[in-house]
Amino acid sequence: MKQRVIVLGAGMVGTCSAIHLALRGHEVLLVDRGDPGRETSYGNAGLIQREAVEPYPFPREWTRVARAAARLGVDVNYHFDALPAIARPLARYWLNSAPAAHARASAAYERLIAHCLTEHQFLMDRIAADDLVRRDGYLWVFRHESTFQEARARARRLAEDSGVRHVVLETEAVRALQPMLQTRLPAIHWLDPWAVNDPGELVARYAALFRQSGGHIVTGDALTLAESSTGWQVRTAEGVVDAPHAVVALGPWSDALLRRLGYRWPLFVKRGYHRHYRMDPAPPLAMLDADSGFVLAPMRTGVRLTTGAEFARIDAPATPVQLRRAEVLARGLLPLGEPVEATPWLGARPCTADMLPVIGAAPRHPGLWLNFGHAHQGFTLGPVSGRLIAELVDGSPTLVPLDAYAPTRF
């Protein structure tokens, strides 16, 4: 039956939720304070990560924990004043990263990741995207032999267990793929992932597909969502709109809304930075410096340098110390030119303590649907999650079983 649905959040997850609902014949209103794809979905490394079948665990080795606590690297930074509020979810994150628990989470994660390419392709078949997408993977490069050998063993395991394709490259083979690489390093070439040279533009094109499918996009304040006599209402630039159904796909801002509705779940954000640098020609493949924790990705704007995680309040002032450290290391890998922007970009990733997204019906609020918490993989999993939430609203069989992602698990 055709329904009226409000989707809150026009990032990758929200936009894809809106598309799939519209394609099923529903009347869909997509609400955001800005243009589609200009927040978290804009600032990532642009990778659709078919190889990412295991979520990022909390480090279990005390040497790595001590290094993170010292805030000396590129991969982790934190604000002291943020720690009291996130201590409990981080403690649960650490517990859920124990080997047995992480294996269970990975099995659930893989069920989603396995469909990421086909679900993106389903949408790309309906838009022009060939100028944005490369389908030849990306590199992990290694500074230390020990971590290289550990990664080789893991890659073999993922190939055997999950069918993830890769090639192990010694230094000369790496230089053949990345001729501008200035340091001789071995690498793993993950073959399945796709690289997008303008992540925000891909979301914008998906949003255009949503409009072509009969959807409507309006500026509004998602945090004004409230129950109404007909279901749910929200204030927008076009006035108050209401619908029997609402989908919360607000990424790192989802927690603020849900707290107003009485939900207290183990959620937190990982902030991240990026900056573009001029380089001509740009490297053909994106690459992760696996020992340092940053990515260099060729974009239409320049080579994008991204950082690891910063644990801080979502609205805290920027502290781009990780980016400054990463730039020093990155210039040893590639001949980067001057920065394109005067100020680095700052965004936030929505995370859960068990490393799994929240996909399903709100436990105490009929007609309210939740689709957030994808951490590092919202860009990868948006089309998969969008399809799943539309199937739930429809009451249709779902692509994969959803118990592992249900809000009731908290």
Q: Convert the pLDDT of each residue in 335-370 to its tens digit.
A: 999 999 999 999 999 999 999 999 999 999 999 999
Structure confidence at residue 73 (pLDDT): 87
Structure confidence at residue 365 (pLDDT): 98
DSSP 200-242: HHHHHHHHHHHHHTT-EEEEB-GGG-EEETTEEEEEETTEEEE
DSSP SS3 for 161: helix
Structure confidence at residue 193 (pLDDT): 99
Cα separation, 193 vs 354, whole angstroms: 24
Structure confidence at residue 72 (pLDDT): 84
Residue 400's pLDDT band (cuts 50, 70, 90): very high
Per-chain mean pLDDT for the chain: 97
Output DSSP code: residue 353.
Answer: T
Structure confidence at residue 165 (pLDDT): 98
Structure confidence at residue 29 (pLDDT): 98
The strand pairing partners of 166, in sequence order, are 190
**Region 148-172 average pLDDT:** 97
Assess whether the previous peptide bond of 401 is cis (omega < 30° from 0). Answer: no
Whether residue 250 contacts residue 222, with contact meaning beta carbons closer than 8 Å, is answered with yes
Full set of structural domains in the chain with CATH: 1-56+100-129+195-266+354-410 (3.50.50.60)
Structure confidence at residue 186 (pLDDT): 98
Structure confidence at residue 69 (pLDDT): 87
Can you give 279-312 as a three-state secondary structure string? CCCCCCCCEEECCCCEEEEECCCCEEEECCEEEC
Residue 1: pLDDT over 80: no
Q: Convert the pLDDT of each residue in 370-380 to its tens digit.
A: 999 999 999 99
Residue 183: pLDDT over 80: yes
Structure confidence at residue 203 (pLDDT): 99
Residue 142: pLDDT over 80: yes
Cα separation, 272 vs 252, whole angstroms: 12
**Region 142-160 average pLDDT:** 98
Name the nearest CA neighbour of 112 among 48, 36, 27, 25: 48
Residue 76: pLDDT over 80: yes
CA 114 vs. chain centroid, Å, equals 16
Q: Convert the pLDDT of each residue in 28-68 to its tens digit.
A: 999 999 999 999 999 999 999 999 999 999 998 888 888 88
Structure confidence at residue 244 (pLDDT): 98
Residue 317: pLDDT over 80: yes
Structure confidence at residue 157 (pLDDT): 98
H or E stretch including 348?
strand 345-352
Structure confidence at residue 67 (pLDDT): 85
Whether residue 358 contacts residue 373, with contact meaning beta carbons closer than 8 Å, is answered with yes
% of the chain exceeding 90 in pLDDT:
96
